[in-house]
Amino acid sequence: MLTLVTGNAGFIGSHVAKRLLERGDSVVGVDAVDDYYDVALKEARLARLIDAARASGASYTFVRGNLARPETIAEAFDGRRFDRVIHLAAQPGIGFSVAHPERTVESNIVGFANVLEACRKAAVPHLTYASTSSVYGANRTLPYSEHAPADHPIQLYAATKRANELMAHSYGHLYGLPTTGLRFFTVYGPWGRPDMALFRFAERIMAGEPIDLYDEGRHTRDFTYIDDLVDGIVAASDEIAQPNAQWDGRTPEPATSGGPWRIFNLGNDNPVRLTDYVDALENALGRKAVRRLLPRRPEDMEDTWADLGAAQDALGYRPKTPMREGVARFATWYKDWTSR
């Protein structure tokens, strides 16, 4: 197949593109490669994709540009008929969205609108895109289920991702564009983002600097290892979304629709306390952290926990990496990366 992967210089996007290339699919990648964090890390991820394509004999093309600009999406689609589009490009960062709402809206709303419109015009058979567990926001019914409402986000990043889900629904209703939205739960692993907790903690522990644990480290997260997440993304992309023939607008079911639109959680179904996550990292690095216990911030969710029943039934999604094993793999990669 020929697949467009947006955000393919990013943490998740680079892993997805690599998996597709390794199984022999042709990939076109799009990424702005901006300076939100270390550009050298992004370039190194791109170099891995070139190596993966060479090893498998698959075709790989990279388009450098911002999807919020129409010329970038036009270049990516020019002369190509994509079998799948996997949209992972976004402006990440919950804290960043609080400080820089304009950049979050440009990337996550304008960029996604451009992708939707390009998929409509090109009659793409299936668009799969990243949402987030943060859309559950103020909801306190755990585990989080796609079949429950998700209409109370507590920060702009989550609001833009919920907007993406609704925008995709409108394109399914109006134009029959099949879309699958995937709510990711705290993804971690090798080649991760420097702004994410595991990477930041590792940097500070190795430098002998204190790490900040908000909510005094008491909250839990459904930490999801990158390889398990990629299994789910690829499986979701392969299975084209179909209308739910039993959907009834008088009693609307939130995860499906009368059009070709669906939502899945991709998590680990095993929430872990943040302090236990830090314990695992200390053990993997062979260093103790200096822990600074701080109050919970208003933009932070209290706990997350993914109900995976729908993804298991429809996609065969079953994460298999224990948290301590995944953290150890990250630590091995981190030591190698920082010693280069």
CA distance 165 to 17: 22
Contact status, residue 72 vs residue 115, Cβ threshold 8 Å = no
Tokens 């090798």 found at: 190
pLDDT value of position 275: 97
pLDDT value of position 170: 98
Q: For the chain, what percent of residues have pLDDT higher than 70?
A: 100
Contact status, residue 224 vs residue 268, Cβ threshold 8 Å = yes
Q: Which two tokens stand for residue 27?
A: 């990939």
DSSP label of 107:
I
Domains along the chain with CATH numbers: 2-186+224-269+305-319 (3.40.50.720)
Contacts of 270 (CB under 8 A, 6+ apart): 222, 223, 323
Angle among Cα 10, 75, 122 to the nearest 5 degrees reads 100
Contacts of 268 (CB under 8 A, 6+ apart): 185, 222, 223, 224, 225, 228, 306, 319, 323
Angle among Cα 165, 167, 168 to the nearest 5 degrees reads 65
Condensed to tens digits (0 to 9), the pLDDT of residues 6-27 reads 999 999 999 999 999 999 999 9
Residue 299 has pLDDT above 90, yes or no: no
Average pLDDT over residues 115-144: 97
Q: In terms of Cα–Cα distance, which of 252, 223, 332, 251 is closest to 285?
A: 332
DSSP label of 187:
E
CA distance 166 to 146: 14
Contact status, residue 166 vs residue 114, Cβ threshold 8 Å = no
93 band by pLDDT with thresholds 50, 70 and 90: confident
Condensed to tens digits (0 to 9), the pLDDT of residues 183-225 reads 999 999 999 999 999 999 999 999 999 999 999 999 999 999 9
Active site residues: 157
Contact status, residue 81 vs residue 2, Cβ threshold 8 Å = yes
Neighbour-count burial of 262, counting CB atoms closer than 10 A to its CB (0-12 exposed, 13-18 middle, 19+ buried):
buried
